[in-house]
Structure formats: C-alpha cells, structure tokens
Amino acid sequence: MAESEIFLIDATAFCYRAFYALKGLSTTFGQATNAIYGFVNMLNKILKENKPKYLAVCFDVSRDTFRMKKFPSYKIQRPPMPENLASQIPLIKEIISAYGIAMFAKEGYEADDLIATLKSKARKKGLAVSIISSDKDMLQLVDEHTVVFSPYKDEGAIYGKDTIIERFGVSPSRVSDILALMGDAADNIPGIPGIGEKTAGELIRNFGSLEKLLNNTAKIPSAKIRQSIEQNRDKIKLNQELCRLDDSVDLEFDLDKLKIAEPDTKELFRLFRYLEFKKLIKNLPLPKEQEQVKDLVIAKVRQLNQLIDLGGELVLYGSAADNLVFSGQEGFFQLNAKDIHLKDILTNPKIKKVGHDLKKLKVALAKENIILEGLFFDTMIAGYLLNPSRSNESLSDTAWDYLGRLPTDKPTDNHKAADLISKLKPVLEKELKNKSLEKLFSGIEMPLVDVLADMELNGIKLDLGVLKELSKDIEKKLEKLIEDIFRISDCQFNINSPQQLRQILFERLQLPIVKKGKTGPSTDEEVLKSLSSRHRLPALLLEYRQLTKLKSTYIDALPNLVNPKTGTIHTCFKQTATETGRLSSANPNLQNIPIKTDIGRQIRRAIVVTADSHYLLSSDYSQIELRILAHISKDGNLIAAFKNDEDIHRATASLIYGLEARDVTGVMRETAKRVNFGITYGLTAYGLSRDLGISIEQAQGFIDAYFARFPGVKGYIQEQIQRAEKDGFVTTILGRRRYLPQINNKNQGIRQLAQRQAVNTPIQGSASDLIKLAMVNIQQEIKSRQLPAKMVLQIHDELLFEIPSRGLREFAELVRDRMEHVLKLEIPVKADLKRGKNWLDMEPVLRQAGR
C-alpha cells in the first residue's frame, strides 16, 4: 500500500466518543470541554504521527438526511445530541479552522457520505487515502490504496483490503451487502431474522453479491434462511440503500484547499486560553517571549535616594533579599543584599509594595531580619478575589488569565516576573472596580496579608510530652481495636485493604452493598456509618480509621514540624484556597482537627503557651452562621430569638413542636440543632433521616415545620437560587463573589449542588469576611498600642492569642469589642472568650450579666 497522502476524519463520531469517554471536564465558567479536549488530542496525534499532506474533517449537519426520508426509523433510537455536546461543536469547528484544516458538512448527508465522496475524488487523482473512523460502515470504502483506522489503541488494527477479507471473507465493496443482511443496531437498521454476521458473510461469499443472492434464493441450502430472505426482500433492498455510502455528493474537491495550512497560533492561543487548556497552550509553537523586557540595570544610589524620599509604588519579585528585582520609574534594577539602602526601601511603609504572594516574601525577608512594610497590591490576592474558583494561583497563570501570556511550569526570571506584575496591576485594578471588589480587596484582604504573615512568624508552641503520651495511648487503643476487629470477623486480614474488607463485609458477613465504586462495593465512611446499625464491625472500622488518621496526620507528624531554630511550628495560612473566602492552613492543616472527638480535643492540650507567665486567649464566635442567616433572611422569629438571647436550638424546637421552651426535651433540641445547621447547607429529608435515624417522611415533616415557622429563611433560599440562576454568582454581605457556572446545568445532581452553594456561600462567606475584618482591626490595635499580645491561630470562627497575664483582661475586652462590633447586623453578635495555659483546658473570661 502506498503511503497515504490524504486523511479524512469522521469528526462527529469522534466528538461523541470524546464526550462520553472524558467525564466532568469544563471551564471555571461552566462551558463543557470534554469533547473539545478529546477531539483536539486526537487531531494532534494524527498530525504528529502521520504528518498528512492533505486533510479534511467531515461533520454531520442534522438527522434530516436522505436515509431518514427512506426509513423514518433510521437512528431513531439515538437520543438528540446532548446539550453539553452541542455547545462544544461550534468551538471544535473554530479550532479546526484555526489549525488551517478544511471542513466539510452538507445538509441531507452524513459525514460518512462526504468521506465516501472525498475518497472517490481523491482516488481518481491517484492519492492514497486514510479514513479516520471507528464506524464499520466505512470499511466498504477500503481498496488497494485506502485504509480505515482509529487512532485509539483499543480499537484494533488498520483495516486494509486483506484485513477485511480475512475478517468478513468478502471484498470491502461487499461489506454493505453483509450489513444489509445482518442489520446495524447502531443505526437502528433491522437485521433479517436468523442471519448474523457469520451467516451473512457466508451467503455473500458463496453467491458473490447481494444482487446475485436475491436472484438465486432457490439455491440457498437452508430452508429457514431461504424463507427468511424471500419474505424480507424489500427490507433487504432498503437496508442496502441505507448501508451503502453515497460517493457522489456535490462537493468541491480542490487539493490546494485540502493542504494543511500554517496554523493560526494566535487564534489557537485565544481559543485554548478561553477554554482553559493550559497543557495544549504549552504545546503551541508560540514565541517564548511575546515582548522584550527592558535590560536589567544596577540601581544607582541617587535613584534609590529619590525612591526613599518620594515614596510611591514599587513592584518587586523574588524569594530572598539577595535575588529581589524591582520595577520602578527608572526601569528594572537589582539590589545587592549588602546595599545599605535595601533595608530602608523594604521597611519604609510609605513606599507601596506591589507583588505576587507578598506574604511569602514577607515571611522570607523576616528570616533575614528585614520587615517588609507597605504591602499595597498583591496580584495573587486580586486574581483570587476576581475568580475564587481558579485552580492555580501562580503568577504565570494569573498572567495567562488577564494578559494572555503563556503559562509555564518553569521559574520565571525575576525581572520578567516583575514586568508581568507591572502589567497585571492596572488590569486587575480595573476588574476589581468593575465588580465592586475594591473595598473588600483594600480594606480586608490586603491588610490581612500582613496579619497572616505575622501569625506564621509567631508560630505555635507544642508540648511534645503530651503528644508522646497521646501516641502511646492511641497505640494501645489500636491494638485492642485490631484484636476486636479480628475476633468479630473470625479471621485476620489487612484492615487497610479495601478488597479484603469487601470480602469480610459483603461475602463473609453478608452485609448489604450500599453503593458501588469503580473497583467494587464501596467501603467508605458513609457506607460504614449506614452499616453500623446492622453489625458491630463497621463501627469498629470507623474508629480504627479515625485513630490511625489522627495518629499519622497530627500526633506523630506535629513533632517533626517543629522548627529547630524557634522551637515552634509555623503553619502556612492560605488566603486563596477556598471559594467561600475561608482561610485554610497547611504544614500542618490545623483547620481539620476533629474537635468533636475526645482524641481530637486532646490534641489541643498539646498547644501551649511559650512562657509560664502567659495565657492563651480564645475568642470564638457563637453560632455566627445562624446569626448571619437571621440577618440576611430578615426572618422575624429567628431575629427575635437572637435579640432575646435565647437558646436558638431550644427556641427552634419549641416552634417546630409547638411547645413551650421549658417543655422541649434534649432529643427535640438535638433534632432542631441538626435542622438549624443543616438548613444552611441545603439539608434534604434524606440527609436528615440518615443523621437522625428516622424515616424520610418524618424528616421531611421536620423540614416543612421549620420553614412554616421561619418563612423568611425559605424566602431567602428561593431568592438566592433565583439570583444565582440569573446572575451566575452570589455575594456575601461585603460583596465577595462566588461564581456558580453549574447553576443551570441539565444534570439534576450537579444543578442541586450549585443551588446548595448558592444558599450557603453568602452565609459562610460572610462569616469569613467578619472574622477576617476582626483580625485586621485587632492586629492594628496590637501594633498601634504596642500591646504584648500575639495572634497565633485562626480556626474557622475562633481566634487564638497569646498574652502575658498582666493586661489579659483589658486585651480580652478589646478582642470582644472588635469581634462583636465588627459590622452592624440586625442581631447582636456574640463571642465567647476563654483563657488557659493550653488550648484545651480553658476557663471563661469576662463573665458578665446576661452572658
């Protein structure tokens, strides 16, 4: 076979294949991209491996084809093209056009017919042809110089003439005859009763063609087959018309237009950037640098003096004092670490610092005894505020989002990075203003950078002896647990092996399968919880998992994180990690210590004061999310309960059950508590029934009763969902945005998740905004008054400080005031304050009437 010169791609088929093969791919704004991504990868594979001289891509236009007119049931079993796939087809066509590749589509014909026609025309010009398809209809087009193949390894070999003869026993031109007899379930073409692929192949091979078979039915040896064919002559002829590809469609065939042109890399870059295909962008043949960066110069003393005297803005980038690069009015310059002016510039608050991840730089410089002041504009924080769902916060990705710059995994030269930051700042400033985010950025998020840097530098003191004893205690409990697990299972097995666990739970113990995963019945936490009421083993397994996780993640890991120089651990606070605005932490992640368990609480005992004369002061917002719900829902009953300083769960229970508060039992209060907190997270009857161990009907009754007593909350939920459906985002009290691109998704599960996020984000995000603003205000007071207190931790709604015993009461008053009066809400905000030598054993402080 001659080397193929023209390649013809069945695009519609490959778009469908990619759509169903790749699940869940979409942009941050909700555009499905799985078919696009799969198709482009397939196209790139063809271009790279085969280097075709000519190439054409063929699409179906609609179902209204000549076959449908002949046989209305043709392909009728196939559902309409999914909306998420249909939305990708125009973008795929734009990409093909940008690649410089010819496209064909014609009303009334399928892509198969266009390929048949182009193949026929190409062969007349003496070209060898490769057809890219996994459709067996295409096999009828094979000849000495035409092959059919799929670029996917799982779809077998290249189909040439010999391959088809070997498989079907007939020449390629007779494949449509076989299909006419056996039918094609994929296209809803009915087969002839009693005839499958093997029988059809034997008949056509013996008679030579379908036409000869129909003219000589009397010679068919099998009476049953003979009768079936004679009774279905018209159907067979119709099937042949449906299966045979039309190779005479009116198409222009101009080889010059079929040559692959030079790709429009600028347009491909624009499309891939829009579709967030970062990997594909990196493979584009783009110039390494889109613009020349000014030469780096060594700063002159006179220029530095002017900078110090006049203030102004200064862009800086680097990871330490000796590799910092600055960008100012004089261009780019680098300072020697020993330059006497370096410290003056960095510590001068009048010089406004602009950078990317300024907190990281501030912490690094502090270790060199340089306190970076004047943090003014952080492009990482700005990019996060504008789109909190961004998966990457790097400078190159931010530049990719807002400047169209090629992202790279390689470290950027510092002077080039400073140049990017200089160009990003005005673009991000404009975006912040357009989305009414300037106040949130400049009033909370930027001041918070300083606060978090100080907290990281302060660190946390650990009592290693407490952790050592805890580790020993857990080891003993685990040994006993393992004994109990093996005894109850009546065998020993690898508790950490899901496969062995399945055998024990579902084969040996015959427990019901709750749900299945990719590799078999699931044994996750939800499954074990649901099975705990049927057998003791699942509960023991849950306890085992919890203890092993606590031991490995915290109790044994924390001592290894102690800085040998400071004797403390320095967690990294992440300001850009959540879509609701909540802070998170890493190395270690202190946000996830499960304080509802006794062992989890004991870990807090290991967090202690750095000096005997000091105290830890904890200030914890009381039911802040429910208070915010009362404020934004404006529900009268909820507001009244908080204004009257009632036990909110008891008050809710009294309304739901129609009882006086004094008559509410503990069980009733617990139910009301679950409903109260669950409502803000989109509580369903199924979820409540599972949590409380009651029927779904009972659970729905509780939820209905709740909404009947708190109609403002129900109205808020409906309003938030409608707002999200209309605007595509929701906001917190202070204007923080969260985009919800899946709020109108056709998939019910995906849509309902977005609806829950629409309800919860304004609540959780507003709580986050409140504590962040309180942190900023308290830290400003600490610095302006030069107080000896240190803010050391923020865990969700709680702040932890360390302070000498002298001045504790006055500082506690300050903290309470700043936390409770951070914003004026419809209801009072309360903070519970406690003190202690460690984070667990604490006693209330500032007891007052009514508290």
| pLDDT digit string, tens, across residues 125-162 | 999 999 998 877 888 888 888 898 887 755 556 788 88
Element (H, E) at 676: helix 666-679
Which amino acid, one-letter code, is at 726?
K
Alpha-carbon distance of 168 to 159, in angstroms, equals 12
Q: Indicate if 303 and 253 belong to the same structural domain.
A: no
Q: Indicate if 555 and 653 belong to the same structural domain.
A: no
Q: Indicate if 477 and 438 belong to the same structural domain.
A: no
CATH code for the domain in which residue 629 is found? 1.10.150.20
Q: State mean pLDDT over 798-823.
A: 96
pLDDT of residue 1: 38
Residue 219 forms part of a structural domain: no
pLDDT of residue 100: 93
Q: Indicate if 466 and 513 belong to the same structural domain.
A: yes
Asked if residue 514 has pLDDT above 90, the reply is no
pLDDT of residue 328: 63
Alpha helices in 297-445 (DSSP H): 301-310, 340-347, 358-366, 379-386, 395-403, 414-434, 438-440
Quote the tokens at residue 480.
């006993």
Stretch among 28-32, 738-742, 841-845 having the lowest mean pLDDT: 28-32
Residue 65 forms part of a structural domain: yes
Stretch among 51-55, 245-249, 362-366 having the lowest mean pLDDT: 245-249
Q: Indicate if 678 and 560 belong to the same structural domain.
A: no
pLDDT of residue 40: 94
Give the number of domains in the chain: 4
Q: Indicate if 433 and 485 belong to the same structural domain.
A: no
Quote the tokens at residue 663.
């008559």
User: Taking all residues of the chain, what is their mean pLDDT, rounded to a whole number?
Assistant: 86
- pLDDT > 90 in the chain, percent: 46
CATH code for the domain in which residue 253 is found? 3.40.50.1010
Asked if residue 191 has pLDDT above 90, the reply is no
Q: Are 145 and 1 in contact (CB under 8 A)?
A: yes
Q: Indicate if 542 and 642 belong to the same structural domain.
A: no
- The bridge status of strand 6-10 relative to strand 54-58 is parallel
Asked if residue 69 has pLDDT above 70, the reply is no
Asked if residue 231 has pLDDT above 70, the reply is yes
Element (H, E) at 758: helix 748-784
Of 447, 473, 489, which closes a domain?
A: 447
Residue 597 forms part of a structural domain: no
Alpha-carbon distance of 382 to 762, in angstroms, equals 20
Residue 660 forms part of a structural domain: yes
Name which residue leads in pLDDT, 168 or 44.
44
Residue 605 forms part of a structural domain: no
Of 237, 258, 279, which closes a domain?
A: 258
Q: CA of 762: how far to CAs of 29, 580, 676, in Å?
A: 19, 8, 16
Structure confidence by residue, pLDDT tens digits, 391-404: 778 898 888 888 87
pLDDT of residue 791: 97
Grade residue 298 by pLDDT with cuts at 50, 70 and 90.
Answer: very low
Name which residue leads in pLDDT, 201 or 44.
44
Asked if residue 409 has pLDDT above 70, the reply is no
Q: CA of 785: how far to CAs of 615, 788, 789, 811, 842, in Å?
A: 19, 9, 10, 11, 27
Q: Are 178 and 168 in contact (CB under 8 A)?
A: yes
Q: Are 35 and 12 in contact (CB under 8 A)?
A: no
- Local structure of 54: helix, strand or coil: strand
pLDDT of residue 336: 59
Q: Are 771 and 797 in contact (CB under 8 A)?
A: yes
Residue 27 Ramachandran class (φ > 0 left, ψ -120 to 50 alpha, else beta): beta
Closest CA to 588 of 561, 607, 609, 616: 561
Q: Indicate if 390 and 418 belong to the same structural domain.
A: yes
Residue 416 forms part of a structural domain: yes
Alpha-carbon distance of 80 to 90, in angstroms, equals 17
User: For residue 520, what are the β-bridge partners?
Assistant: 517
Asked if residue 213 has pLDDT above 80, the reply is no
Structural domain of residue 127, as residue ranges?
A: 6-168+246-258
Q: Are 557 and 587 in contact (CB under 8 A)?
A: no
Q: Indicate if 756 and 640 belong to the same structural domain.
A: yes
Q: State mean pLDDT over 303-315.
A: 69
Crossing angle between the packed helical segments 89-98 and 265-274, to the nearest 10 degrees: 150
Encode 65-129 in three state secondary structure.
CHHHHHCCCCCCCCCCCCHHHHCCHHHHHHHHHHCCCEEECCCCCCHHHHHHHHHHHHHHCCCCE
Alpha helices in 387-532 (DSSP H): 395-403, 414-434, 438-440, 446-458, 464-489, 498-502, 525-531
Q: Indicate if 128 and 14 belong to the same structural domain.
A: yes
pLDDT of residue 74: 53
Q: Indicate if 382 and 490 belong to the same structural domain.
A: no
Grade residue 851 by pLDDT with cuts at 50, 70 and 90.
Answer: very low
Alpha-carbon distance of 620 to 823, in angstroms, equals 16
Residue 834 φ/ψ, nearest 5 degrees: -135, 155
Sign of CA dihedral 268, 274, 279, 281: positive
Q: State mean pLDDT over 607-617.
A: 96
pLDDT of residue 144: 87
- Local structure of 524: helix, strand or coil: coil
Q: State mean pLDDT over 364-385.
A: 94
CATH code for the domain in which residue 362 is found? 3.30.420.10
pLDDT of residue 310: 63
pLDDT of residue 4: 61
Quote the tokens at residue 416.
């080039």
Alpha-carbon distance of 628 to 639, in angstroms, equals 10
Residue 850 forms part of a structural domain: no
Q: Indicate if 428 and 478 belong to the same structural domain.
A: no
Residue 511 forms part of a structural domain: yes
Is the preceding omega at residue 588 within 30 degrees of 0, hence cis? yes
Of 206, 232, 258, which closes a domain?
A: 258
pLDDT of residue 492: 92
